[in-house]
């Protein structure tokens, strides 16, 4: 129980009928929820130990919303729409749910408080009941927060220390009881008072005490965790004695200590958590503190310590952490955050992924998967970025490669990062194909080799061969990061109608994926469902801060709907967007059957843009007039750009050479085209009826 937030709960619970709105005070099982004070308290009348915890206002809003809709599953998107105004990532919802579960000790695989319904959302597993607030409780909610005093002047802080002494005394008495009886506590953590090493002992001493008590309050919310507040005594300093000696004397398992060091007016906070059994640092970090960020630093320290202990106390999560390749729980948590954001697939979340992976590397410089995660996020962001940003991302990946090479020149992560570097340049696909072919022929290729060769085949319209390679490629195993997304490549070779349904299902898991949003929007318009497409396109435009992907979708939709025509006034504005949009402007010109203009844009593509050309040309060609695809001028342009008949035939010969190893033969149409020296202008998997349907849906002036 937190001494500053406890209170007897004597309210009376009553059932609520269907559709009846809850008041600000209601009960969930043995927990009484006070929405006004953001407090959850154990009902002492239920025979449980008295306990009270606070949650953030946003988490309380989530809990109240779930309680008011307890008869159904509530999706993350619904919670975002109802409770957030500017947040589009459902990570905010996950964080609120995690805080609520932590507050009520609802951990493990069997959730008893809030259950997760896969791919649908969340539902309360406890029926809420209305209850009334007692007069005693109504008067017991005064704000005793020490932290609110820290932003005031030093004189005001000193005046508050009498109250602080009482709070500390209550915590010490409570902690002493925990040390004497461990029957109900799995782990004990001793919290040393933060040291204030500076000339400004008075002011910083108060701040140090505030940090100490903030940690005591926050850590007390962890289940099966006892907190011991250690006195200001040199006997309990890890400077004079080892952590194991202190732990043995006090019977505690971990020691948390910190210090404030003031240099040139800047206060630096150092904090570390030590396991007394072996002296291992479970967590250490440092923060630069100002008056403006004191609260956020306190929150960060409490959050990090809580996360670190939670992970180390959870056997399964600890094993996962070790399998990913780190012993630093906070580095692991940043890494998992990075992977979450990377899988959202939009520029804003890619930036967050890079930040989290960078934090993981800072905390554990030997965390190899964090380096690979950073490179993968940078690579994904480059796909959707303008040229200046791509150049910055290339340097970031190069720097990442150099850093991990200094750690371990034999690390398998280096090979994956080298593959990412090669892709980002956009110019050496011929050499990449030879390298991957040799890897496959060796009999022990890297995991991504078959998948990436399939991507080459898709770009060269060899869909049937790509389908066979994807069937051989293995999915990414747990605790692995791959530069390729096989789940996405399989949809690339589906017919437009099939792909539309697949992409819609994928959007249920990745609702902010701008590549999926663009594909769905374009295919919906191709089918004539323009109104439905608008919703996807609006989401795409809001998420695509770089604008490259959104522009491609906009011009395709513009031509298909007739809003962009050869003589339209808006055409000149599209053509004048600048070199970052050369690829999509070439697509626009070709859709309007203006070969000369399209050729002009594509010939001006920079090396990094040719990667986009190679990966997307097959996808946009279905919107081109058939007469243009069959013209020798267009095919010569593709050859000039490195994606024409020579590239296609190189891949055909590669499939033939690798057949003895893969068992994959060249399809009959591809074999005939190779023997006759002809270019395959359309993929060899879709039947002719599919192409006829597509041509019938194109505007009349772009049909053959």
Closest CA to 329 of 305, 346, 298: 305
Distance CA 469, CA 655 (A): 10
CA-CA-CA-CA torsion sign (423, 427, 433, 435):
negative
Based on the number of CB atoms within 10 Å of its own CB, is 134 exposed (0-12), middle (13-18) or buried (19 or more)? middle
**How many Å apart are CA 704 and CA 697, to the nearest integer?**
12
pLDDT at 90: 66
And the tokens for 540? 């795409």
Which residue in 643, 650, 644, 688 sits closest to 666, CA to CA? 650
Could you tell me where the beta strands, DSSP code E, fall in 320-364?
Answer: none
- Are 312 and 339 within 8 A, CB to CB? no
Among the listed residues 459, 430, 385, 513, the one whose alpha carbon sits nearest the alpha carbon of residue 621 = 459
DSSP 665: P
3-state secondary structure 169-192: HHHHHHHHHHHHCCCCCCEEEEEC
Q: Which residues contact 402 (CB under 8 A, 6 or more apart)?
A: none
What are 263's strand-pairing partners?
A: 266
- Rounded-to-5 percentages of helix, strand, coil across the chain: 60, 10, 30
DSSP code per residue over 505-519 = HHHHH-TT-HHHHHH
SS (H, E, C) 640-698: HCCCCHHHHHHHHHHHHHHHHHHCCCCCHHHHHHHHHCCCCCCCCCCCHHHHHHHHHHC
Q: What is the C-alpha to C-alpha distance for residues 233 and 249, in angstroms, rounded to an integer?
A: 14
pLDDT at residue 469, rounded to an integer: 96
Q: CA-to-CA distance for 109 and 132, rounded, in angstroms?
A: 33
Rg (alpha carbons) of the chain, rounded to whole number: 31
Q: Which residues contact 172 (CB under 8 A, 6 or more apart)?
A: 229, 231
Query: Two tokens at 645?
Result: 């008949």
Span between the terminal Cα atoms of the chain, in Å: 77
For the CA atoms of 424, 427, 429, 431, what is the dihedral angle to 10 degrees? Answer: -110
Element (H, E) at 196: strand 195-197
Q: What is the DSSP string of 451-519?
A: HHHHHHHHHTT-HHHHHHHHHHSPPPPTT---S--HHHHHHHTS-HHHHHHHHHHHHHH-TT-HHHHHH
Q: Are 360 and 367 within 8 A, CB to CB?
A: yes
Q: How far apart are CA 519 and CA 533, in angstroms?
A: 10
Q: What whole-number distance in Å separates Cα of residue 117 and Cα of residue 112?
A: 13
Amino acid 661: pLDDT: 95
Backbone angles phi, psi at 222, to 5 degrees: -75, 135
Instruction: Please give the Cα distance from 53 to 6 (Å, whole number).
Output: 8
Report the helix count and the strand count for the chain, using DSSP H and E: 32, 14
CA proximity to 73, closest of 116, 106, 127: 116
- The model carries a pTM of 0.69
**pLDDT value for 624:** 95
Q: Give the number of other Cβ atoms within 10 Å of residue 368's Cβ.
A: 20
| Mean pLDDT by groups of 10 residues along the chain of 704 residues | 34 48 82 86 60 80 91 88 67 76 66 74 86 46 30 31 34 36 62 74 72 77 72 62 74 85 78 82 80 71 76 82 91 92 93 96 94 96 95 96 91 90 87 94 91 96 96 84 89 94 92 95 94 94 95 95 89 94 97 96 94 93 93 97 97 97 96 96 92 86 50
- CA atoms of 277 and 121, how far apart (whole Å): 41
Residues 6+ apart with CB under 8 A from 392: none
């Amino acid at each position: 129980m937190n001494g500053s937030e406890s209170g007897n709960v004597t309210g009376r619970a009553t059932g609520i009928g269907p559709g009846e709105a809850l008041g600000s005070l209601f009960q969930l099982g043995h927990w009484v929820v006070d929405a006004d004070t953001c407090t959850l308290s154990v009902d002492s009348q239920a025979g449980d130990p008295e306990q009270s915890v606070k949650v953030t206002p946003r988490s309380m809003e989530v809990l109240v919303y779930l309680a008011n809709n307890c008869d159904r599953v509530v999706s993350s998107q619904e919670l975002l729409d109802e409770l957030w105004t500017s947040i589009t990532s459902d990570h905010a919802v996950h964080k609120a749910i995690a805080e609520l579960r932590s507050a009520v000790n609802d951990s493990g695989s069997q959730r008893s408080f809030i259950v997760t319904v896969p791919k649908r959302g969340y539902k309360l597993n406890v029926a809420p009941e209305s209850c009334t607030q007692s007069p005693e409780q109504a008067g017991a909610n005064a704000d005793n927060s020490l932290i609110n005093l820290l932003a005031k002047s030093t004189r005001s802080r000193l005046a508050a220390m009498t109250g602080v002494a009482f709070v500390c005394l209550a915590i010490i008495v409570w902690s002493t009881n925990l040390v004497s009886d461990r029957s109900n506590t799995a782990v004990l953590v001793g919290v040393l008072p933060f040291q204030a090493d500076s000339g400004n002992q008075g002011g910083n001493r108060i701040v140090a005490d505030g940090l100490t008590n903030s940690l005591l309050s926050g850590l007390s919310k962890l289940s099966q965790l006892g907190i011991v507040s250690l006195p200001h005594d040199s006997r309990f300093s890890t400077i004079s004695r080892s952590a194991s000696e202190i732990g043995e004397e006090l019977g505690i398992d971990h020691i948390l200590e910190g210090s404030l060091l003031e240099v040139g007016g800047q206060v630096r906070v150092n904090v570390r958590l030590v396991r007394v059994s072996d002296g291992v640092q479970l967590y250490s970090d440092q923060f630069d503190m100002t008056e403006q960020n004191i609260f956020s630093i306190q929150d960060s320290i409490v959050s990090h310590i809580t996360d670190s202990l939670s992970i180390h106390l959870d056997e399964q999560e600890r094993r996962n952490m070790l399998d990913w390749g780190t012993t630093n729980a906070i580095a692991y948590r940043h890494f998992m955050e990075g992977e979450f954001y990377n899988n959202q697939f939009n520029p804003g979340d890619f930036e967050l992924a890079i930040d989290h992976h960078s934090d993981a590397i800072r905390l554990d410089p030997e965390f190899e998967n964090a380096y690979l995660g950073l490179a993968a996020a940078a690579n994904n962001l480059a796909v959707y970025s303008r040229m200046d940003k791509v150049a910055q991302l290339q340097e970031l990946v190069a720097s990442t490669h150099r850093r991990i090479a200094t750690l371990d020149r034999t690390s398998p992560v280096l090979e994956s990062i080298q593959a990412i570097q090669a892709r980002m340049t956009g110019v050496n696909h011929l050499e990449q194909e030879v390298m991957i072919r040799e890897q496959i022929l060796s009999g022990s290729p890297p995991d991504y080799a078959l998948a990436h060769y399939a991507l080459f085949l898709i770009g060269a319209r060899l869909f049937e061969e790509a389908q066979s390679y994807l069937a051989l490629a293995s999915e990414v195993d747990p605790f692995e990061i791959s530069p390729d997304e096989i789940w996405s490549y399989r949809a690339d070779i589906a017919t437009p109608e099939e792909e539309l349904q697949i992409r819609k299902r994928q959007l249920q898991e990745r609702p902010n994926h701008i590549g999926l949003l663009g594909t769905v929007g374009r295919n919906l318009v191709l089918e004539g469902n323009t109104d439905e497409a608008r919703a996807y396109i609006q989401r795409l435009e809001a998420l695509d801060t770089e604008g490259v992907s959104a522009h491609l979708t906009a011009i395709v939709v513009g031509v298909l709907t007739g809003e962009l025509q050869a003589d339209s006034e808006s055409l000149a504005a599209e053509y004048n967007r600048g070199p970052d949009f050369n690829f999509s402007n070439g697509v626009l010109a070709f859709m309007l059957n203006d070969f000369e203009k399209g050729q002009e844009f594509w010939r001006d593509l920079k090396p990094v843009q040719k990667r986009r050309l190679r990966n997307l040309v097959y996808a946009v060609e279905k919107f081109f007039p058939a007469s243009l695809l069959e013209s020798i001028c267009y095919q010569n342009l593709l050859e000039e750009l490195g994606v024409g008949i020579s590239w296609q035939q190189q891949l055909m010969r590669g499939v033939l050479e690798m057949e003895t190893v893969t068992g994959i033969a060249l399809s009959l149409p591809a074999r005939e085209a190779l023997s006759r020296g002809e270019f395959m202008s359309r993929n060899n998997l879709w039947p002719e009826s599919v192409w006829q349907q597509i041509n019938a849906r194109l505007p009349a002036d772009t049909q053959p």
